[in-house]
Structure 1
């Protein structure tokens, strides 16, 4: 796994090694900033549910990570983010146009790799990307009448985060030659752990100052994370001030107070309980997979969801 991930890193940089100087620099910007490489790691781990020596696994892992990286460039433009992975975002270092075009270039590189993996791989990547975009658009729209706010939020996370991670797990098992039931279970595991991954990130945004982001970034931007939704749905008089603060983007002067109240709230406890439920669902799915190192690795990932702080 370690050797394969090193090869993934090399191929990511090779994918942006263009003769256009600015594009080469901006395209390698987030790659060199690091990151957990969770998606290629999951693809490679799930390949061990079959035969990790089969062809195209490395290419699939690289293409899916390029797809993820491309979305980060676009996300930072939409969010007007200044930092990504502890470094200036591409839009902050250059401008929005450079960031958008760099994201487009990474998408094109991912598509080129996918085209070499066959038409079914291209179809699955396109379907995944459609779900990802739909989730992103739904996040920017008012919630439809009659739909519970928490359910709507979790569905958005399934599409904009879970969908790509599900495809990473599926591609690993599929290109590894696993049987159909194993591929389907791996895909479902990926979707569930993908939602858990985002829920954990949102909790870290509230609790941690070691994540590479300024604590409370989501509060400042008015992003309705799960803890905020639970707070707004509550009726405890003791949390009335919290509800007032988070009912709109939090003013910078009120951020410390909002974080203090949210960290001590029942709403944050509820968000952690929901994360725990997703963790347990993912663990059950992982344990239903064939015994072996891959199954153990996927179970360990479920524990990592709870324990990580960045």
Structure 2
């Protein structure tokens, strides 16, 4: 599946290009932001927002600013994540702080967050509240991640609390915001929020597992967060721990599909199903790929 060919992804990419073009040419900020925004990525979160809005009856032109806001705050979080992890590579490119320095990267993150707030301000209270809450939870999750790394925690409950805040919160907000922008009721927004939470949690588990199995070669960090595989390896062999982790992901994905099936059949609903599989099970490593 090539998500980059979807209309939703193309719309986001064009909006990013237009956003960068509007930045003052005399400012170094333009170079740093361009480096961040043009370094690839599948635009999963804003695409979730656009598709969620569509299954609730809205169109891309009504939701594009909200989707761009999601992508910008996500990009800002990656800058901060790379600074905390002392990341060297992101999506196959040198991280912003490696190229432009710590100060420039931090300021670019501030700029992206500020722009995201400006974009989201044109929507209603529910959308803005959802967006703000996600930003706070992401920061809390990153703080938890640092703490877990420092104390080398292998606690399953702490791990899930961490990834639900630092990653799943923005997936959940993206889906719920799509509903709010479309004028859907709270019950519908809640369903989509739960869908995003399931998908985001599964996504992060897989991402951590890929780092563990050394299958990701376009990201390099000094500090690597604990994974669910690490937790399970305390009580079982390596291959069994990977397989058990994959079972957890499959359960979360199944629950996400069940929520989406509650909406009327449509192309957008089908795409949400495809995206759910693509961002999770579609990235599974071969069991036993890493020998310990």
Do the structures match in fold with TM over 0.5?
Answer: yes
| Aligned equivalent of 2:182 | 176
Distance 1:128 1:221, change over 3 A: same
Larger Rg: 1
| Aligned equivalent of 1:18 | 23
RMSD: 2.5
| Aligned equivalent of 1:189 | 195
Kindly indicate whether the alpha-carbon contact (under 8 Å) linking 1:83 and 1:89 is maintained by their aligned counterparts in 2. Answer: yes
* Deviation by residue 1:234-272 (Cα, 9 ceiling, x = unmatched): 1x5xx5xxxxxxxxxxxxxxxxxxxxxx4xx32212211
| Aligned equivalent of 1:285 | 259
| Aligned equivalent of 1:246 | none
1:101 shift after superposition: 0.8
* Deviation by residue 1:159-201 (Cα, 9 ceiling, x = unmatched): 1101111111111122123343322111110011001111111
Kindly indicate whether the alpha-carbon contact (under 8 Å) linking 1:114 and 1:121 is maintained by their aligned counterparts in 2. Answer: yes
For 1:3 and 1:222, the matched residues in 2 are separated by 35
1:77 shift after superposition: 0.6
Where structure 1 has 5 or more consecutive residues not aligned to the other structure, the ranges are: 240-261
| Aligned equivalent of 2:289 | none
Question: TM-score, normalised to structure 2's length?
Answer: 0.86
1 or 2 for the larger relative contact order (CA 8 Å, sep ≥6)? 2
Where structure 2 has 5 or more consecutive residues not aligned to the other structure, the ranges are: 286-292
| Aligned equivalent of 1:224 | 226
| Aligned equivalent of 1:72 | 78
Matches within 5 A, 1:1-310: 2-16=6-20, 17-19=22-24, 20-53=26-59, 56-142=62-148, 149-207=155-213, 209=215, 211-214=217-220, 221-231=223-233, 233-234=234-235, 262=238, 265-304=239-278, 305-308=280-283
How many residue pairs match? The answer is 276
Question: TM-score, normalised to structure 1's length?
Answer: 0.81
1:157 shift after superposition: 0.8
Q: Helix, strand or coil for the counterpart of 2:55?
A: coil
Q: Helix, strand or coil for the counterpart of 1:221?
A: coil
For 1:170 and 1:99, the matched residues in 2 are separated by 30
For 2:53 and 2:214, the matched residues in 1 are separated by 33
For 2:11 and 2:231, the matched residues in 1 are separated by 41
1:151 shift after superposition: 1.6
Distance 1:70 1:22, change over 3 A: same
Q: Helix, strand or coil for the counterpart of 2:219?
A: coil
